[in-house]
């Protein structure tokens, strides 16, 4: 292939130097990755072979700036592998992941390079460095140690093998999950539509049409699965769909993830022990606010104790309603939970989530969420069709700061499709940094799987989807407000159990009347969302909150059970899982189901020994938002303080230092318990 015309290797003439997605073809990735590695190797050689004594500038900063091309190419490729993949890209990933892993190891295990880093680390007067420089030096030194720089030659060889094997296994885990999700469909007969709302029927008919079929088809993608579980009156079909969802990657086919799970867990343990840690969690948590496993368990157990009594009461209440409707012999099962919970919510609060959808038309919600950022931070958003995008579904925006200067590019990708993995996430195509050319601004992306427009109806979101949007947009603000010198300390490059604070704090606005009134208008009549409907939303905001908390705690306990092991795992994945989270389970157990084999967060997504972060950050966000509530939820001084001390600082200082600078105190769990109505 002629590399002269590879858009990944040529200067971008696009606005703000954005990715020339319109020019990139699948065959461009591999040569660009190989070229990126080649140039990176030359840059590393130049650092090692210089005759000058090692200094912060010629070694640490030079290393920080090396690999720019490789970073850019692998970022685009990695992002699209999640958002717009195909078989060809997955085949490239299978080939390139071991090579990229080897390339990374060649750098972190390079003895001459580490000798220079260690010399700088040992001889530099840290007090003479600024806070950012101190953090960069510490991170660089620690990063090399954690990547095996101090190991013996034999151990280094094994470290390389482990890294290469893990890179392939995590990729395969995710691919299997995506393929299992895409392979399943439930075709509904005309007499199986009872209870399903119009929005779901439209969507199921559209899915059938897209697949070239008649009737209605339900899939395992969230916007399809969730409404069916909530509203279908056909219990046997709910059970069928629930079991399909919760047995993904357990079947006797090429997408089974059981062996992959065992290998990943054992490789992570072996890597940790090679580096002198007892468990994989010990290795992970030394670079977290939680610091050690006992602090994580302390949080999980505190919350379990606080929420479990209420969670059991919530289940009893749903069970009682189900018996009232179905008879005394009725036994509530997991596939009944969403259905009867929804019925109870309607009964208690006169709140039907489907009745809310017409007030959450996607374009209005976008206006509301962007408007919130304008109100809090003074920033503005301008759609720009000149900026190339990777799929017609994606919209690109220029973001401007309150003084009118350019702040960031934001890509928004809202709807499910076959090439996109499930869930919602924020990522970046370019991070922020400062150099001799000025402040290089970031290109941020939010990716969701929201209800699609269907027929003559626009995309009408559920209240849960509005929450998800606010959450991912909080991450986006963290990326867009980044204002640091070094890219590796910029934006969301913070401790993993701090990264959810900016996202979760935004969810608090979802039930604030003053926020909802800015955008929640009926898509046909233009009428504002009725005041009493907002009140019902507020009243219902803690509905089954303890059940939801225990669900999250069960995931955290499962995660910790896998990664606090001191011995390799040889047992049965299913039964180990059931045992691990048993104390947080409040519904009957189904033998065949297995979460671990599709739990991408902890197996393939960077949350191994880190899933507790969601609850950890919830404690932080409840405490932080209480300051907004005290001073006024749109208070620009509080917002600017949050921007200045948290959102713009990235990983330049310890998160607790940044948090206390904003909040004036360390957080406790009381604000969360009060918000959830557990503490009065």
Q: Active-site positions?
A: 472
Contact of 551 with 307, CB cutoff 8 Å: no
**Beta strand 394-400 with 433-435: parallel, antiparallel or unpaired?**
unpaired
Q: How many angstroms separate the CA atoms of 40 and 71, rounded? A: 9
Q: How many angstroms separate the CA atoms of 553 and 289, rounded? A: 18
Helices (H), 211-332: 222-231, 235-246, 258-274, 280-285, 293-326
Q: Which residues lie closer than 8 Å to 523 by C-beta, 6 or more apart?
A: 358, 359, 361, 364, 458, 460
Contact of 621 with 103, CB cutoff 8 Å: no
Q: How many angstroms separate the CA atoms of 598 and 608, rounded? A: 13
Looking from the CA of 399 toward its CB, the CA atoms found within 13 Å total 26
SS3 content of the chain, % helix, strand, coil (to 5): 60, 5, 35
Residue 425 backbone dihedrals phi, psi, to 5 degrees: -155, 160
The token pair that represents 538 in the structure block: 């507020």
526 dihedral zone (left: phi>0; alpha: psi -120 to 50; beta): left
Q: Which residues lie closer than 8 Å to 364 by C-beta, 6 or more apart?
A: 519, 520, 521, 523
Looking from the CA of 78 toward its CB, the CA atoms found within 13 Å total 20
Q: How many angstroms separate the CA atoms of 555 and 559, rounded? A: 6
């Amino acid at each position: 292939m002629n590399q002269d015309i590879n858009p990944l290797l040529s200067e971008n003439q696009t606005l703000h130097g954005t990715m020339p997605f319109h020019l990139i073809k699948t065959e461009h990735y591999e040569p660009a990755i190989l070229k990126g590695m080649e140039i990176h190797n030359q840059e590393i050689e130049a650092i090692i072979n210089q005759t000058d004594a090692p200094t912060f500038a010629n070694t640490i900063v030079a290393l920080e700036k090396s690999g720019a091309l490789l970073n850019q190419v692998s970022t685009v490729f990695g992002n699209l592998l999640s958002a717009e993949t195909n078989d060809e890209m997955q085949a490239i990933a299978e080939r390139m992941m071991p090579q990229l892993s080897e390339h990374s190891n060649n750098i972190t295990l390079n003895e001459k390079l580490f000798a220079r880093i260690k010399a700088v680390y040992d001889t530099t007067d840290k007090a003479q460095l600024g806070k950012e420089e101190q953090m960069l030096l510490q991170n660089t030194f620690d990063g090399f140690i954690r990547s095996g720089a101090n190991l013996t030659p034999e151990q280094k060889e094994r470290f390389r093998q482990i890294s290469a094997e893990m890179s392939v296994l995590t990729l395969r885990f995710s691919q299997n999950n995506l393929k299992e999700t895409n392979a399943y469909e439930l075709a509904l007969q005309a007499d199986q539509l009872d209870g399903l709302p119009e929005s779901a029927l439209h969507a199921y008919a559209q899915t059938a049409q897209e697949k070239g079929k008649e009737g209605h088809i339900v899939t395992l993608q969230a916007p399809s699965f969730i409404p069916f579980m909530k509203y279908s009156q056909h219990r046997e079909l709910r059970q069928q769909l629930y079991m399909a969802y919760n047995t993904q990657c357990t079947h006797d086919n090429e997408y089974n993830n059981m062996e992959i799970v065992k290998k990943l867990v054992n490789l992570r343990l072996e890597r940790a022990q090679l580096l002198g840690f007892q468990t994989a969690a010990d290795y992970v948590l030394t670079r977290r606010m939680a610091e050690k496993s006992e602090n994580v368990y302390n949080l999980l157990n505190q919350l379990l104790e606080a929420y479990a009594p209420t969670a059991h009461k919530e289940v009893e209440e749903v069970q009682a309603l189900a018996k009232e409707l179905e008879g005394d012999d009725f036994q509530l099962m997991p596939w009944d939970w969403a259905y009867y919970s929804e019925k109870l919510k309607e009964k208690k609060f006169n709140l039907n989530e489907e009745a809310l959808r017409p007030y959450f038309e996607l374009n209005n919600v976008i206006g509301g969420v962007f408007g919130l950022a304008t109100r809090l931070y003074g920033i503005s958003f301008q759609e720009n069709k000149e900026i190339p995008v990777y799929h017609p579904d994606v919209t690109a925006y220029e973001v401007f700061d309150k003084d009118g200067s350019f702040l960031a590019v934001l890509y928004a990708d809202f709807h499910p499709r076959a090439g996109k993995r499930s869930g919602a996430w924020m990522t970046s195509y370019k991070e922020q940094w400062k150099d001799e050319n000025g402040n290089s601004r970031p290109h941020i992306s939010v990716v969701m799987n929201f209800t699609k427009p269907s027929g003559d109806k626009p995309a009408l979101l559920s209240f849960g989807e509005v929450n998800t949007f606010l959450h991912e947009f909080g991450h986006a603000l963290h990326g867009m407000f980044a204002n640091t010198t070094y890219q590796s300390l910029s934006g969301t490059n913070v401790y993993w159990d701090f990264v959810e604070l900016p996202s979760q704090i935004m969810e608090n606005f979802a039930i604030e009347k003053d926020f909802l009134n800015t955008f929640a208008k009926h898509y046909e009549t233009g009428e504002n969302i009725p005041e009493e409907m907002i009140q019902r939303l507020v009243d219902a905001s803690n509905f089954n909150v303890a059940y939801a908390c225990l669900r999250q705690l069960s995931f955290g306990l499962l995660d910790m059970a896998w990664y606090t092991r001191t011995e390799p795992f040889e047992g049965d994945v299913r039964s180990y899982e059931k045992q691990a989270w048993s104390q947080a389970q409040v519904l009957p157990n189904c033998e065949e189901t297995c979460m671990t084999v599709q739990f991408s967060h902890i197996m393939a997504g960077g949350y191994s020994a880190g899933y507790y972060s969601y609850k950890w950050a919830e404690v932080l966000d409840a405490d932080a938002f209480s300051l907004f509530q005290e001073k006024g939820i749109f208070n620009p001084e509080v917002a600017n303080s949050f921007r200045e001390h948290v959102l713009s600082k990235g990983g330049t200082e310890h998160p607790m230092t940044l948090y206390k600078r904003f909040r004036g105190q360390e957080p406790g769990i009381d604000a969360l318990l009060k918000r959830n109505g557990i503490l009065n």
